[in-house]
């Protein structure tokens, strides 16, 4: 009888383990504006390997409404980088007045079993260029977006200035102090692709923010 209980318990454990559908990992959504285009990328990492399930692809949802199935781990709309494809552009934005949450699930087996989603990304509407919001041109960043390095230019001379780079979670990821001159080269180094806020403080306490976009 004891062996029977152990066998039943072990069987239930295996069934629970095998019934689990592993979710995707590291969902990333980046959005930026380059006149006159809105650009964005959606990407994720594959789920952990399963011994019992066959991964078929992924379902993308806006809020809880199905948008599309894909076998790739990224979708993008990047006309500002020369890609004129509209596969993931206008139709994706035109939902719920441009504000919704993005979820991606993993799809398994011929029965198309779905995982839960472990995290989500928020689409807050069309981006606008910072030049439209801040007409002054005291600080410019070019190229932006950038891959390996970019340069900050100023109409004023740096004097013991400081630069802080903050990620989308509000975390300071880099800080540079005691800067002098009118231009400064910024190397990507360990910055992941995404959208950052660059905060520049001059020696006379004038303060400017710029959006910084890092891409692969």
**3 state DSSP class of 149:** strand
| Beta strands 113-114 and 65-70, pairing class | unpaired
**C-alpha separations of 153 from 52, 148, 173, 175, 203 in Å:** 56, 17, 21, 17, 16
Second CATH level (architecture) for the domain 130-214: Sandwich (2.60)
Q: How far apart are CA 156 and CA 160, in angstroms?
A: 12
**Of 153, 197, 145, residue with least CA distance to 175:** 197
Q: How far apart are CA 131 and CA 128, in angstroms?
A: 8
Residue 150: its pLDDT value, please?
A: 92
Q: Which residues pair with 75 in a beta bridge?
A: 42
Residue 4: its pLDDT value, please?
A: 43
- The encoded tokens of residue 21 equal 């559908």
Give CATH for domain 22-123: 2.60.40.10
Domain extents for the chain?
22-123, 130-214
User: Do the domains 130-214 and 22-123 match in fold?
Assistant: yes
Q: Give me the tens of pLDDT residue by residue for the chain, a chain 216 residues long.
A: 544 444 444 444 444 444 568 899 988 887 776 656 677 888 899 999 887 889 999 999 998 899 999 999 988 877 766 665 655 666 777 777 778 899 999 999 878 889 988 888 888 776 654 333 344 446 788 888 899 999 988 777 777 888 888 887 667 788 888 888 888 889 999 999 988 888 777 665 566 778 889 998
């Amino acid at each position: 009888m004891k062996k029977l209980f152990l066998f039943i318990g072990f069987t239930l454990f295996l069934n629970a383990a095998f019934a689990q559908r592993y979710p995707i990992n590291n969902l990333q959504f980046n959005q930026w504006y380059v006149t006159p285009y809105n650009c964005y990328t959606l990407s994720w990492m594959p789920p952990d390997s399963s011994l019992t399930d066959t991964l078929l692809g992924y379902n993308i949802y806006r809020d809880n409404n199905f948008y599309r199935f894909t076998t790739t781990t990224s979708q993008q709309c990047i006309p500002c980088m020369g890609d004129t494809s509209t596969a993931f552009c206008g139709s994706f934005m035109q939902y719920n007045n441009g504000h919704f949450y993005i979820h991606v699930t993993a799809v398994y087996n011929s029965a198309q079993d779905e995982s839960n989603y472990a995290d989500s990304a928020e689409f807050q509407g069309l981006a606008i260029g910072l030049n439209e919001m801040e007409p002054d041109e005291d600080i410019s960043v070019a190229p932006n977006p950038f891959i390996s390095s970019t340069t900050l230019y100023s109409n004023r001379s740096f004097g013991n200035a400081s630069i802080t780079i903050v990620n989308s979670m509000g975390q300071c990821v880099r800080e540079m102090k005691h800067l002098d001159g009118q231009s400064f080269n910024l190397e990507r180094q360990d910055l992941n692709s995404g959208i950052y806020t660059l905060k520049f403080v001059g020696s006379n306490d004038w303060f400017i923010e710029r959006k910084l976009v890092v891409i692969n």
